[in-house]
Amino acid sequence: SQQGEEDPQALSIQEGENATMNCSYKTSINNLQWYRQNSGRGLVHLILIRSNEREKHSGRLRVTLDTSKKSSSLLITASRAADTASYFCATVLGGSNYKLTFGKGTLLTVNP
Amino acid sequence: DADVTQTPRNRITKTGKRIMLECSQTKGHDRMYWYRQDPGLGLRLIYYSFDVKDINKGEISDGYSVSRQAQAKFSLSLESAIPNQTALYFCATSDFRGNVDEQYFGPGTRLTVT
Lowest mean pLDDT among A53-62, A73-82, A88-97: A88-97
Chain A residues touching residue B107 (CB < 8 angstroms): 41-42
Average pLDDT score over residue span A93-99: 64
- Nearest CA-CA distance, residue A62 and chain B, Å: 18
Residues of chain B with pLDDT under 70: 1, 98-99
pLDDT at residue A45 in the model? 93
Chain B residues touching residue A2 (CB < 8 angstroms): 42
Detail the DSSP E strand segments found in chain B: 4-7, 10-13, 19-25, 31-38, 42-51, 54-57, 64-70, 73-78, 87-94, 104-105, 109-113
To the nearest whole number, what is the mean pLDDT of chain B? 93
- Nearest CA-CA distance, residue B91 and chain A, Å: 9
Which among A31, A106, A101 is positioned nearest to A67, based on CA atoms? Answer: A31
pLDDT at residue A1 in the model? 47
pLDDT at residue A97 in the model? 55
Cβ count near A36 (within 10 Å): 21
**Chain B interface includes A102 (CB < 8 A):** yes
